[in-house]
Amino acid sequence: MESASSTAESVAPAIKTNGQLKKADKLRQVLSKHAEERHLIVLQDFPDPDALSSAWTYTLISQQYGIECVSAYAGTLSHQENIALVRLTGFPVQRWNLQLEQRDLKNFQGAVFLDNQGTTSQITRLVKQSKLPVIAVIDHHAPQDDLAPQFSDIRTACGATATIFVQYLQDGLLGLDATNADHLKVATALMHGLRSETNHLMQAKEEDFQAAAYLSRYYDPKLLEAILQTARSRRVMDVIERALKNRIVKNSFSVSGVGYLRYEDRDAIPQAADFLITEEDIHTAVVYGIVRTEDEREIVSGSLRTNKLTLDPDEFIKKTFGQDASGRFFGGGRMRAGGFEIPVGFLSGSSENTAFNQLKWEVFDSQIKQKLNRLITDDEEDT
């Protein structure tokens, strides 16, 4: 009887391009070395369809090598479409509440970071403390250089991490079967991830369109429609209303602070930014608020959306908010979108004193606007 690794190695021969192995073949070699292990797939605290679909695809690929994968996130699924994606497809993803429970990683032999590079996940701290080897980092965001993986595939030219995984499929890492229920669901999830990251393909590049064309043979249109038709909750609509009411417009930037939000409503912030950017004569929207976690910590969380081709969200956010004492940036981005999270620190914690909470919000609101205003002015004067 053949082992899982020997069987997997026969899936497709190694292909060389200009004398170098293709990324898919390098990943194949790495997975073969780690056959029969148990790996932790680390997702960002608030995983989106791109991350979820990539994790599922990686899991199916790894199964061919006898590798068991556990996908986990430490935040919450708060966007209605993300919740629908997990429920309707049955993707086995775990929420780790690190504030209320201890997690021991001794049963894992490696960690994998997909659609993130460790800077947006609380689980990263556990991985580093446990000295768990980082097997792979696969992402489409700007390089963070925070991890030292055995395999790295970071392609900022791709509109989605899902696009990278579709290319892996095309290169033979996993042959999709239209009669396989899991393959049908994972293809649908990849299509959703690709669409969501590229603004319904309006910001897609050639590789993204090619990936979508490939997935069109396998995905379930009715399942995707069911995911996309999930209604916004009343709380999300309330945050969008606050964003509209509080927005300040300057030089085609729309900036809005929405005050305090519950942890489970954090994904209302990017949805509000998506809405504000649809306003006439607005090319960039920034929405932020203070999110209170379950252990009473507070974080200023924000999202940026832009249609301005000369504005690099990653550079803009890093220049605006800088780094913490350890040199870690408070945020970053990709083409046309970005996000940031800034710990409130000493002032964290709920208070029954409404006046105090209001004063605290006004301080942070003023500080964020001041930092943004400096770059908004510079950006417009330089053009």
Q: Residue 29: which CATH number?
A: 3.90.1640.10
Q: Are residues 193 and 88 in the same domain?
A: yes
Mode of pairing for the β-strands spanning 38-42 and 16-17: unpaired
Identify whether residues 124 and 152 lie together within a single domain: yes
Shared domain check, 378 and 322 = yes
Instruction: Collect all residues with Cβ–Cβ distance below 8 Å to 108 and sequence separation of at least 6.
Output: 38, 39, 40, 70, 132
Sorted by sequence, the CB contacts under 8 Å of residue 131 that are 6+ apart come out as none
- Considering the domain architecture, whether residues 199 and 262 belong to the same structural domain is answered as no
124, pLDDT greater than 50: yes
Instruction: Report which residue type is found at 284.
Output: T
pLDDT band for position 352 (50/70/90)?
low
- Give the domain CATH number at 373: 3.10.310.30
Q: For residue range 290-332, list pLDDT tens digits in order.
A: 988 766 778 899 999 998 988 999 899 999 998 888 777 888 8
183-215 confidence digits (pLDDT tens): 999 999 999 999 888 877 877 889 999 999 999
- In this structure, the answer to whether residues 251 and 271 fall within a common structural domain is yes
Radius of gyration of the chain (CA): 21
| pLDDT surpasses 90 at 166 | yes
| Boundary residue ending a domain (197, 228, 259) | 228
Verify that 238 and 343 share a domain, yes or no.
yes
Say if residue 144 is in the same domain as residue 65. Answer: yes
Please tell me whether residues 239 and 196 are part of one structural domain. no
DSSP conformational letter for 28: H
What is d(CA 47, CA 53) in angstroms, rounded to the nearest whole number?
10
- pLDDT surpasses 80 at 382: no
Question: Which of 202, 228, 254 is the C-terminal boundary of a domain?
Answer: 228
237-288 pLDDT, tens digit each: 889 999 999 999 999 999 999 999 988 888 889 889 988 998 999 999 999 9
Same domain, 217 and 271: no
Q: Which of 228, 247, 263 is the C-terminal boundary of a domain?
A: 228
d(Cα 287, Cα 269) in Å, to the nearest integer?
6
The residues, ordered by sequence, that sit 6+ positions from 240 with a Cβ below 8 Å of its Cβ are 268, 271, 272, 275
In angstroms, the CA 197 to CA 202 distance is 10
Number of domains into which the chain is organized: 2
**How, if at all, do strands 134-139 and 284-292 pair?**
unpaired
Determine the structural domain holding residue 213 and report its residue range. Answer: 4-228
Same domain, 176 and 277: no
Residue 171 and residue 28 share a domain = yes
How would you class 58 by CB atoms within 10 Å of its CB: exposed for 0-12, middle for 13-18, buried for 19 or more?
Answer: buried
**Residue labelled with tokens 């080897």:** 133
Examine the domain organization and report whether 17 and 155 are in the same domain.
yes
Q: Which residues contact 213 (CB under 8 A, 6 or more apart)?
A: none
